[in-house]
Amino acid sequence: MDMIPAIKPSTFTGDPSDTVHEKTYARKDISGVIHRNRLNGLIAALKTLDLPAEGNFADFGCSNGFLAKTMQETVFAGKKWTYWICDYNQNLLRQARERNLPDTEVVYFDLDHPEPVEAVSDVVLSVSTLEHSAGYAQGLTAIYERCKVGGHIVIGLPYENGLPGMVKFLGRGILRKGAYDDFFRYHSPWEYFWRLATNQNLNVFRTRVPRDGYAHHLGWDMPTYLKEMNRQYTPDKCNLLLHSRTPGGCNWLWIYQKTA
């Protein structure tokens, strides 16, 4: 049985790309199945934690509030928690506020240009967000700083390198016509595919054209990211409690407990 509450396509208006996460979870194709499996895995992992009856939850990259709503109805059901959720997109923030989620503060926050944050949260979540930021190093710092000592940091990211990246690249091209038009104004699709096939660094595609963020996953290089994560989330600051991958290795999940 699905752990996710019944999903219906978003009724919100606005730029269709703004609600891509919720719409993707609702899709009836293979993309929707992959995303629902990923979300079920996240819920199951969080349920294994010994979370208190009362606490504070933070979501970096809340989109239209769908994920926070899902967490409230599954992981935190019956608990007296408060919720701090953020995004940089004003349209998404408006949509999240229109949900009127209980005990929830919806705020503007830009991971590429983060303001100082206070360590007040027992669980800090960032799923499918850092890969869209230009400055994920600053984002990792902000996520860490928001978490209390003893609290949990939960990060979920796509794996775009090698064979999984090739499958995703070809699959998205079939399912989403014109999905990469803006990207391939500047880059060669043949060069990109060759780098996937030979498992080379993809980060070079994100350094050629300056921008503040990325609407897609192209150019997301997990080995480059892991170097930064391991540089910041060292054993003297965090204990790694879980590192899991969805079938096929398409998505990775980490849960840390902050110790300092």
How confident is the model at residue 183, as a pLDDT? Answer: 82
What CA–CA distance (Å, rounded) separates 140 from 137?
5
User: pLDDT tens across 124-171, in order?
Assistant: 999 999 998 888 899 999 999 999 999 999 999 999 999 999 998 888
Domain residue extents for the chain: 25-157+221-258, 162-206
pTM, two decimal places:
0.89
Cβ pair 220, 160 in contact under 8 A: yes
* CATH architecture of the domain covering 25-157+221-258: 3-Layer(aba) Sandwich (3.40)
Buried b (16+ CB within 10 A) or exposed e, 34-66: bbbebbebbbebbeebebeeebbbbbbbbbbbb
User: pLDDT tens across 197-254, in order?
Assistant: 999 999 988 876 656 678 788 899 999 999 999 999 999 999 999 999 988 888 999 9
User: pLDDT tens across 20-60, in order?
Assistant: 567 776 666 666 677 788 888 999 999 999 999 999 999 99
Share of the chain above pLDDT 90, in %: 63
User: pLDDT tens across 215-226, in order?
Assistant: 788 899 999 999
